[in-house]
A and B are shown apart, each in its own frame.
Chain A
Amino acid sequence: MITIDVNGASRQIDIEPDTPLLWVLRDVIGLTGTKFSCGIAQCGACTVHIDGTAMRSCSVPIGALDGAKVVTIEGLSSNNSHPVQRAWIEEGVPQCGYCQSGQIMAVVTFLKQYSNPTDADIDANITNICRCGTYEPLRRAIHRAADLMKT
Chain B
Amino acid sequence: MRGTGVPSTVNRRDFILTAVSAAGGLMIGIGATPVRADGAAISTQPWNDNGFAPHEIDAWIAIDPDDSILIRYQRSEMGQGSMTALPMMITEELQCDWSKVRIEYASSNRSVREHRVYGNMYSHGSMSVRESQKMVQQVGASARERIIAAAAARWHVPASECAAAQSVVTHRPSGRTLRYGEVAAQAAKVKLVKEPTIKTPAQFTFLPRRIPRLDLVHKTDGSAKFGIDAQVPGMVFASISACPVPGGKLKSVDESVLSGTPGIVDVVKLEDAVAVVATDSFWRAKRALSRLRPEWDVGAAGDVDSEQLSKEFRAALTDRMVVARNDGDVDKAMSGARKTFEAIYETPYLSHTPMEPLNATVNLQPDRLDVWVGTQDAEAALRAAANASGLKPEQVYIHNAFLGGGFGRRDGNDEILQAIAVARVVKRPVKLIWTREEDTRQDRFRPHAVVGFKAVTGSDGMPTAWSMRVVTSSIFNSVGIPFPPGKAEPPAVDGLESNGYNVPNTRVELHIRNTHLPVWFYRAPGANQHTFAIESFLDEIASARGIDPYQMRRKLLDGKPDWLKVLDTAAEKGEWGKPLPKGSGRGIAICTFTDSLCAQVAEVTVKPNGEVKVNRITVALDTRHMVNPQTVTEQAESAVIFGLSAALYGKITIKAGAAVQGNFDTYRMVRLAEAPRIDVHLVPSGGQVWGGAGEPAVPPLAPAVTNAIFAATGKRVRTLPIMDTDLSGSA
Contacts and interface: CB of A to CB of B under 8 A. Distances in A.
A49 interface: no
A4 to B, nearest CB: 15
A129 B675 contact: no
Interface in B637-665: 637-642, 644-645, 663-665
Contact of A32 (B27, B355, B645): B27
Interface stretch (B132-140, B398-406, B483-491, B718-726): B398-406
Q: Which of B78, B404, B435, B645 has the most CB of A within 10 A?
A: B404
Interface string A38-63: 11101101000000000000000000
A136 to B, nearest CB: 5
Q: Which of A22, A23, A45, A135 has the most CB of B within 10 A?
A: A135
B433 interface: yes
Nearest to B218: A97
B222 A72 contact: yes
A33 B669 contact: no
B281 interface: yes
A88 B630 CA distance: 15
A126 B403 CA distance: 24
Contact of B663 (A18, A38, A126): A38
Contacts of B80: 95
Interface string A87-118: 01100111111111100100000000000000
B31 to A, nearest CB: 10
A121 B404 CA distance: 28
Contacts of A10: none
Contacts of A18: 287
Contacts of B222: 31-34, 72-74, 101
Contacts of B644: 133
Contacts of A97: 79, 215-216, 218-219, 224, 402, 404
B436 A23 contact: no
Contacts of A80: 35, 217, 220-221
B642 A136 contact: no
Interface residues of A, number: 63
Contacts of B283: 19-20, 22-23, 27
B356 interface: yes
A10 B515 CA distance: 55
A33 B353 CA distance: 20
A129 B355 contact: yes
B630 A133 contact: no
Given A30-B231, A31-B222, A42-B663, A131 B282 contact: no
B284 A16 contact: yes
19 contacts: A15-B280, A27-B280, A27-B283, A32-B229, A37-B355, A39-B436, A76-B221, A89-B220, A94-B220, A95-B80, A96-B356, A96-B403, A98-B405, A129-B664, A131-B354, A131-B355, A132-B79, A133-B644, A135-B671
Closest 10 CB pairs of A and B: A33-B222, A133-B641, A97-B219, A95-B79, A98-B404, A96-B79, A73-B222, A123-B673, A135-B675, A94-B219
Interface of A: 15-16, 18-20, 22-24, 26-28, 30-40, 42-43, 45, 72-74, 76-77, 79-80, 85, 88-89, 92-101, 104, 122-124, 126-139
